[in-house]
């Protein structure tokens, strides 16, 4: 998932907060995921303020009481680095939420898909993978073995309140 709509300015880019719309859109996305029957075991979230706030709103909308794992490296990660970070997720985790930044999240969605889904993530990527966009994948394997083209896109959604 890409973080929700953020304020244009902040003390630093890392410390930019979500705009009101970002909070509302992320809550909507959480409700949508819950309506799909999704409840995460784990959340890996960039440590930037806007991604932390996105997780809080997403979890609120989904009705999940789960503490996110904050990762400062996800803030500036390239897609390959993001895949490496996913490879370090505890093998006991079956349902994972990842919240980060563009362009990494858009490229990650492109890289993970095996091309078998009726809707390819390129549709969202072509639209800029907007704020509060998410792509839901299925993956049968260990996180440590996650690689390009190894997951199947199930659906995609853009949170809009």
Determine the Cα–Cα distance for residues 99 and 68; give it in Å rounded to an integer: 10
Q: How many other C-beta atoms can be found within 10 angstroms of the C-beta atom of residue 149?
A: 12
The predicted pLDDT at position 124 comes to 61
Closest by CA position to 92, among listed 135, 144, 132: 144
| 91, 142 contact by CB (below 8 A) | yes
Determine the Cα–Cα distance for residues 132 and 23; give it in Å rounded to an integer: 9
Give every CB contact of residue 117 below 8 A, 6+ residues apart in sequence.
152, 153, 154
The predicted pLDDT at position 155 comes to 87
* Domain 20-158 CATH class label: alpha beta
pLDDT in tens, the chain (161 residues): 999 999 999 999 999 999 999 999 999 999 999 999 999 999 999 999 999 999 999 999 999 999 999 999 999 999 999 999 999 999 999 999 999 999 999 999 888 988 776 555 556 655 578 999 999 999 999 999 999 999 998 888 999 97
Bond prior to 103 in cis (omega within 30° of 0): yes
The predicted pLDDT at position 14 comes to 97
């Amino acid at each position: 998932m890409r973080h929700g709509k953020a304020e244009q300015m902040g003390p630093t880019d890392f410390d930019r907060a979500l705009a009101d719309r970002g909070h509302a859109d992320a809550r909507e996305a959480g409700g949508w995921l819950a309506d799909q029957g999704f409840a995460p075991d784990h959340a890996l979230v960039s440590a930037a303020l806007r991604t932390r706030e996105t997780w809080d709103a997403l979890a609120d909308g989904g009705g999940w009481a789960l503490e996110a794992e904050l990762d400062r490296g996800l803030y500036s990660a390239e897609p390959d680095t993001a895949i490496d970070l996913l490879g370090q997720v505890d093998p006991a985790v079956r349902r994972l939420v990842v919240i980060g930044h563009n362009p990494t999240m858009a490229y990650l969605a492109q890289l993970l898909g095996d091309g078998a889904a009726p809707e390819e993530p390129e549709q969202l990527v072509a639209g800029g993978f907007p704020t509060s966009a998410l792509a839901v994948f299925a993956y049968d394997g260990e996180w440590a073995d996650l690689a390009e083209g190894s997951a199947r896109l199930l659906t995609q959604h853009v949170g809009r309140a």
